Amino acid sequence: MTQIEKLEDLMTKQVVTVTEDTPLTEAVVSVVHHRFSGLPVVDRAGKLVGLFTEKKLLADQSYVHLRTLLTLFSDLQYYKKKKSAILEELKEAVPLDMKKVMNPNPRTLNISQSIEDAHALFLDPATADPVPVVDDNNVLKGVLSLSDFAKYYKVPIRAAVREEDVDRKIDRFAESFRNDFLVVPRFRVYTWIISSILFGFAGFAIAMFFILRISV
């Protein structure tokens, strides 16, 4: 096993981030797409200003529905074609941005700290996942997650995280929904409706024809 001596050798350096003005819907899309448990919030200078985590929002039932909805439509052709329109509607339904939902004072690690310091921090269940890694000027340098430890040590650093169970439930719900329902473009729905109306009129006309013929 390769010896890891520095925190920067273990952390993820290519970090996906959001800003305080990022809409909640966009952050959730990123979380769903990358299968993250949280995202660092930074300013224009790259300094950490907060942390957005699913754990903080799981108590909000509307958030769970939003996450489920985006998971459900993420791989459907209809969603891909109408993605921007759907997101705009969701933004109106959930008018929140990162500034309103983030943790402005998350636990962090300094890039100069040791692997042992990081290990001890993660042993505390109150520690959010992931943990931002910053320099002395609070500039974000990377993130450290439970999965980083698990991949290296090949064992979980602490008990299974509750969010993973939520992810599995959401995935099962979305898969079940896909199997039971069909999402089609609006044009096709209109075509079906118009066809049904025309068939209805045709049936009514035929019925009236036979009724009048019998009467005669």
The first and second tokens of residue 123, run together, are 């042993």
Mean of the per-residue pLDDT values of the chain = 72
Report d(CA 65, CA 146) in Å as an integer.
Answer: 26
pLDDT tops 50 at residue 138: yes
pLDDT tops 80 at residue 4: no
Write down the pTM of the prediction.
Answer: 0.61
pLDDT, mean of residues 91-115 = 84
pLDDT of residue 195: 62
Q: Band of the pLDDT at 72, cuts 50, 70, 90?
A: low
Contact between 9 and 111 under an 8 Å Cβ cutoff? The reply is no
Instruction: Count CB neighbours of 144 within 10 A.
Output: 24
Q: Band of the pLDDT at 79, cuts 50, 70, 90?
A: very low
